[in-house]
Structures are given as C-alpha cells and as structure tokens.
Amino acid sequence: MLKDLLGKILKKTQKVVTLSAARTSSGEFLLKQTDFGMIHVEFATIEKIAKRAVSELKEIHEADLAVEKTVSTVTPLRIRMTAILSEGFSAPKASLAADMAINSALKNFVGADFYVPVEVKVKQIVQQAVAPRRRVR
C-alpha cells in the first residue's frame, strides 16, 4: 500500500517538474534533467555565462545580451544579442562565432544536449584599439 502511494506521488511530481522553464519570485529559470537529478538554472546565470563567452571573442567589441523565454519545448529560451563589431570582421562570421562560443559555454555548464538559439543584431562597427608601439633600446 505504501509502495502504491509513493508511486502515485512520484508520478504527480514527475508531471510537475518536467516543465522546461518556469518562473519563481526570484525570476525565470530553466529546469534540466541530468543523470544526477534536476538542475535549476536562472536566466540571469545563463546571461552571465553568455556574456563571459562573448567577451573572449576578438570579433565582438561590445555586446548587450538578453535571455528570453520561448513557447517551444525544444528550445525553451533564446538569447538576443545587440553587438558592436570590431572593424575588419564580417557580421555573419561574428554571429556564428558568438553562437558557437555561447552554446559551447552553456554545454559545458548545463549538459551535452543543450542548445540555445542566438539572435544577433549588429548595432555598430568600431575601429580596433591599436596598442602603442614601444621602442626597444
């Protein structure tokens, strides 16, 4: 009898936690099932990981990121990025580099089967800052 009761409770619990994204009082978060259990990752954390990944790219001088919830069950969130490109780099290549860097960082953080679509809008192109030449004596 106890086994049946526990089975019913677990079935109901599984129906509740299989949501791919949810909202709490502290903000929206992503639920990810792993071998070790459920992981709750807030959208703010995903945004920080994405910003760190983009900051390492030489193609992108500056970027503003926003993580948004979608209605899709396959990709429950997306990242919108407004970028300022460095001069000499193409927008499609910079967009692809940003997508690959962000998703690589998120895969390392959340899990191997995780993908977030990244929408890139190029706001401006700026010249790269050239370091002053040093004279060696």
Question: What are the extents of the domains in the chain?
Answer: 43-126
d(CA 85, CA 54): 11
pLDDT level of residue 40 (50, 70, 90 thresholds): confident
CA 121 to the chain's CA centroid = 16
pLDDT of residue 127: 85
Give the burial class of 120: count Cβ atoms within 10 A of its Cβ; 0-12 exposed, 13-18 middle, 19 or more buried: buried
Please name the amino acid found at residue 7. G
pLDDT of residue 71: 84
pLDDT reading at 131 higher than 70: no
- Alpha carbon distances (Å) from 61 to 13, 74, 129: 46, 31, 10
d(CA 112, CA 76): 16
Pick the range with the lowest mean pLDDT from 19-23, 27-31, 44-48, 72-76.
Answer: 19-23
- pLDDT tens, residue by residue, 83-105: 999 999 999 999 999 999 999 99
pLDDT reading at 74 higher than 90: no
Domain over 43-126 is classified CATH 3.30.465.10: no
Tokens 């992981």 — which residue?
Answer: 39
